[in-house]
Amino acid sequence: MSEEPRRFHPEKPARTKSARRTRVLVAGVFVGAIAAMSLSWLLGWGFETDEERTEARAEKAAQARYEAFSSPAGTCLTWQASDAADIHEVDCSQPHLFEVIGTVDISDQYGRNAKAPDAATWRTLTTQRCGQKARDYLDGPLDPEGKLSLGLLQPDERQWNSGDRRMHCGLQRTAPGGSLQPLEAPATEIDQSDVWEKGTCLGIEDKSPGDPVDCTEPHSYEMVAVVDLGEEFETFPPRKEQNEFLDKRCNKLADDYSGDADLRKQGLITAWDTRTEESWQAGSKLVNCKVGALLEDKSGLAPVRGSVSKDAETKPRPSQGGDNSSQQPGGQSGRDGDKGNGSDGSDGSGDAENGSGDSGGATGSGSDSGGAGVDIGGDAGVDIGGDVSGDGNGG
């Protein structure tokens, strides 16, 4: 066998100094570029100044405000920042704080050089110009004492000075203390009855109900049940009939909720809401049964700590002289029910329709945080919340 021919392996040419120098030079350029990039990163991002961060946040907030202010009817918006700088759109089936229902142009009242309205005027404009938008959007009446209230996205100072005269009307839920509460469905699908879920406790502010709190904290009322008056009455029932029915029903439900605890011995009373005919016609037929305590002088509600629930670890402790010696279980009318402490009937079925819910805004009584909905900020600041109808918030 013949020898296998040797394979030809040409020798690699020797690398010249010039080639080596070129390679080193290229490598040096690469390393230099990396160093420059690193330095640029350190200077540009790693050591961003407070002023640059503030400007970046302001630009982001301005863009969010612009997008929110351009939202069409049916858009749901939410935010967490106190100035709503993080406002953004969400699906209306998700928790949200504001649902846009339409836009109103007020240039017929405020020309190019007109000064922007003050807070009180914005509230009046919202009631006057957004009310019809709500009726059209809901295809029916807005319950003036219900869960939903009118809100507003108003132009900030820069938008106003540039000639923008649009009001974006919306619907929101405001708690008795003035804070906005999340909604989890489109407004057209929400029962407008102003009720809270069983087990909810409302805080206490100046002897009156406030915003929802944990039941271990001082509170005015604990919700023990939700009752549908529509199951008992086919047509609107007079207040006396509501009280007679709810006196028995709510006391029974309070016993069930507390495990038949002796609430009176604990200084507690059972109370409930009633509905006005206007609310009834808007479809609001649900009411809360609730438990609270009165101050000894009957001037308002006493703070209670702990829950009356039979499953609660912390039992209720009324403070500041909770008393029930003469004030028997009572009923409250709509939103004023949670703000007022009206007269009590001798038969035990109280009526707080004329309660002292006097902290309201321009058009009614009840809770009003002083805001006209949401002012999507800029230099004008951000006004979060407020019940522009001024009807208060009874639970």
d(CA 385, CA 395): 18
Position 5 scores a pLDDT of 43
Q: Are 57 and 85 in contact (CB under 8 A)?
A: yes
Write out the two tokens for 227: 């009752």
Q: How far is CA 150 from the centre of its chain?
A: 12
Q: How many residues does the chain have?
A: 395
Domain boundaries, the chain: 56-180+363-385, 193-351
Taking residues 234-251, report their average pLDDT.
Answer: 98
Q: Which residue has the higher pLDDT, 346 or 128?
A: 128
Q: What is the pLDDT of residues 45-73, one digit of tens each?
A: 555 788 877 777 777 777 777 778 889 99
104: left (phi over 0), alpha (psi -120 to 50) or beta: beta
Query: Residue 100 in 3-state DSSP?
Result: strand
Percent of residues, the chain, with pLDDT higher than 90? 57
Report residue 205's pLDDT band, with 50, 70 and 90 as the boundaries.
Answer: very high
The neighbouring-strand residues paired with 276 are none
Q: Are 99 and 171 in contact (CB under 8 A)?
A: yes
Q: Which residue has the higher pLDDT, 377 or 216?
A: 216
DSSP one-letter code for 344:
-
Q: Are 282 and 143 in contact (CB under 8 A)?
A: yes
Q: Which residue has the higher pLDDT, 346 or 288?
A: 288
Report residue 44's pLDDT band, with 50, 70 and 90 as the boundaries.
Answer: very low
Position 49 scores a pLDDT of 82
The mean of the pLDDT values for the chain is 77
Taking residues 71-85, report their average pLDDT.
Answer: 91
d(CA 196, CA 101): 24
Q: Are 333 and 353 in contact (CB under 8 A)?
A: yes
Task: State the DSSP string of 295-331.
Answer: -TTSSSBPPEES---TT-SS--EE-S--B-SS---EE
**293 vs 176, 270, 300, 336, CA distance in Å?**
18, 9, 9, 17
Task: State the DSSP string of 149-213.
Answer: EEEEEE--HHHHHTT--EEEEEEEEE-TTS-EE-B-S-GGGS-------TT-EEEEETTEEEEEE
| 38 pLDDT more than 70 | no
Position 103 scores a pLDDT of 95
Taking residues 370-380, report their average pLDDT.
Answer: 34
Write out the two tokens for 201: 């406790």
Percent of residues, the chain, with pLDDT higher than 70? 67
CB atoms within 10 A of CB 366: 28
Position 70 scores a pLDDT of 85
**256 vs 49, 259, 311, 354, CA distance in Å?**
61, 5, 11, 30
- What is this structure's pTM? 0.71
Q: Are 320 and 293 in contact (CB under 8 A)?
A: no
Position 133 scores a pLDDT of 96
Q: Give the residue carrying structure tokens 């939103």.
A: 335
Query: Residue 104 in 3-state DSSP?
Result: strand
**122 vs 51, 61, 67, 95, 180, CA distance in Å?**
33, 23, 21, 26, 18
d(CA 347, CA 369): 36
Taking residues 295-321, report their average pLDDT.
Answer: 84
CB atoms within 10 A of CB 35: 10
CA atoms in the 13 A half-sphere facing the CB of 275: 30
Position 331 scores a pLDDT of 53
Task: State the DSSP string of 204-273.
Answer: EETTEEEEEE-TTS-BSEEEEEEEEGGGT-SSPPPHHHHHHHHHHHHHHHHHHHHTS--TGGGT-EEEEE
Q: Are 390 and 139 in contact (CB under 8 A)?
A: no
Position 57 scores a pLDDT of 72
d(CA 220, CA 44): 54
